Chain A
């Protein structure tokens, strides 16, 4: 199996910062491929779904770009766009208050949170999507991320609508403390109910996907798909190197590594994603499960509401 990796060219780790710094010269006209280093004309890159035409490297997509890629034009209806993050811990770190960081991130990204959910069609097939946006605080999973995902899963269970999640994350959002960790429990519980309702959850892992997202709803999909070369794991490579002093093997935590170890079903290149999802959705449309669906409950108030009123009043 080792030569399997070698054919794809040598893995070169990079950070999101490097991506941004390297790619945007000059003025977004030309983009440098993070892997082969070639300068690519950005319009050509966009036409190619941000896959490097030279080496096949899959550059990251923003959430809205991903939705455009996977849905029919004009069919996406966003859900719960009015949910806003809070700063329940009044968290302040070396770079300042979380509240200020949230506002700056919202202004920079044009998104209010790191997850976009909604429904659309894919070549006429109805589906729901939950797409993480890595540019928003590393698509870390906080309270709103969890709440949107749970509401999406509840709606899908009620309506029998297949749910496609597109997962990329640095892990649980530290600024919301243990509330973030608990989103793992909360989302998994909702996906378990979705499963009991017989509704499929297709999980697409894209670069990079780590921590609490990898250790919760993203790895319990009925089908788990990854994009070529995506880095996917629980612990980050630097953490592992620091703690264990082990030298990481070539290709460690790539989609190909996960496929090799039996952790995912498929690796699908971006240009083939629509067709693969469509084919899978057609199979599930023939599901013989006809269980009664649980009613979608009214959205409960967060337990923090009372405490927050006191704190805010």
Chain B
């Protein structure tokens, strides 16, 4: 595989994680680490990395979703808008936080806070950590799909720089809803997937018990996603984050601040052409993601038998 497209100006991804911990962990190991209840969650990062955090609540339409938090904070010498999924550390907290599964009002709160950030020129930092958007009757009634789609639009159109960090579990559309950022960072033991390995195994293997196998096949680890051109920087975890939370949070802060410094310097947004350049760069970043070829091009994945 080619080198991951780490921005030359971005923060160093640290020592090669493969060097520090030679490929000892399977994808499924990382899923379990990513879901560890004591792994630092969004508000732990906010507490350790920012000052003067003011949490902002509510979607101004229906309610306040405690599975998705947000607010203004000082980070790396600037005011930023922080948005993140929030899991709990125990069952009681998790019930309060709905296990980090946001509802439509959560994504509409994110949408509102993103608009707010754009209005005042505050860069956006998001912390992704969710099994997925909440699947239930109420969420469907209130337009879960629409709420996620509108948050995606808001992020794609955002007039300020943004950095998304997958700190734990990046679960499907519910994760991506706050993940359409200029730079995507993953912690070494975080995972990011189109569907949970259990769901994928249940559908494609007809057996949810084969989730470990599905996890391997789906390419959900930070290194693999850097190779696929999706992840820009990886925060190393010499020890899993729940064992060394302070160190990993601090390393995450350094990477995010360096990326923000670079984005703010590269894309001054005090005039409209600057904003358009930023949007164009973001558009091109996502525009190129995927695997396709034309009929004439040599296939790399499929033997070309001239069928179609």
Contacts and interface: CB of A to CB of B under 8 A. Distances in A.
Contacts of B173: 172, 181, 184, 211-212, 215-216, 234
A263 B143 contact: yes
Interface stretch (B30-38, B82-90, B116-124, B280-288): B280-288
Contact of A303 (B5, B220, B282): B5
Interface in B134-148: 135-137, 139-146, 148
A306 B96 CA distance: 46
B289 A186 contact: yes
Interface residues of A, number: 87
Contact of B137 (A88, A99, A249): A249
Contact of B292 (A143, A184, A246): A143
A300 B228 CA distance: 16
Contacts of A86: 291-293, 299-302
B273 to A, nearest CB: 14
Given A234-B145, A240-B135, A102 B302 contact: yes
A233 to B, nearest CB: 5
Interface string A227-255: 00000011100011001101011001100
Contacts of A87: 291, 301-302
Given A93-B217, A302-B291, A239 B301 contact: no
A215 B145 contact: yes
Given A85-B301, A89-B219, A176-B290, 17 more contacts: A84-B297, A88-B228, A94-B205, A174-B194, A178-B225, A185-B152, A185-B289, A192-B156, A214-B145, A215-B144, A215-B152, A233-B145, A239-B135, A252-B137, A300-B288, A310-B2, A312-B299
Contacts of A239: 135, 199
A228 B182 CA distance: 40
Nearest to B191: A178
Interface of B: 1-2, 5, 133, 135-137, 139-146, 148-150, 152-153, 155-157, 172-173, 176-177, 179-180, 192-195, 199-200, 203-207, 210, 214, 217-220, 225, 227-230, 282-284, 286-303, 305, 307-308
A243 B136 CA distance: 8
Among B1, B5, B288, residue most surrounded by chain A Cβ atoms (within 10 Å) = B288
A183 interface: yes
A106 B308 contact: yes
B206 to A, nearest CB: 6
Contact of B136 (A82, A181, A246, A306): A246
A188 B153 contact: yes
B219 to A, nearest CB: 5
6 contacts: A85-B302, A174-B218, A184-B176, A219-B149, A244-B136, A301-B288
Contacts of A198: none
Contacts of B176: 181-182, 184-185
Nearest to B101: A243
B145 A182 contact: no
A243 B299 CA distance: 40
A280 to B, nearest CB: 20
B291 A82 contact: no
B142 A178 contact: no
B302 A99 contact: yes
Nearest to A179: B290
A254 to B, nearest CB: 11
Contacts of B284: 300
A235 to B, nearest CB: 3
Contact of A261 (B141, B156, B228): B141
Contacts of B153: 188, 191-192, 220
A73 interface: no
Contact of B156 (A189, A244, A300): A189
With most chain A CB atoms within 10 A of its CB, the pick from B157, B292, B296, B297 is: B292
Interface in A191-224: 191-193, 196, 211-212, 214-220
Contacts of A215: 133, 144-146, 148-149, 152, 173, 177
B31 to A, nearest CB: 14
8 interchain residue pairs of minimum CB distance: A87-B301, A143-B290, A312-B300, A235-B135, A303-B229, A214-B145, A88-B291, A234-B145
Nearest to B140: A233
A224 to B, nearest CB: 9
A261 B135 CA distance: 17
Contact of A234 (B1, B144, B220, B286): B144
A304 B2 CA distance: 9
Contacts of A190: 283, 287
A67 interface: no
Contacts of A182: 176, 230, 286, 289-290
A234 B133 contact: yes
Contacts of A174: 194-195, 200, 203-204, 218
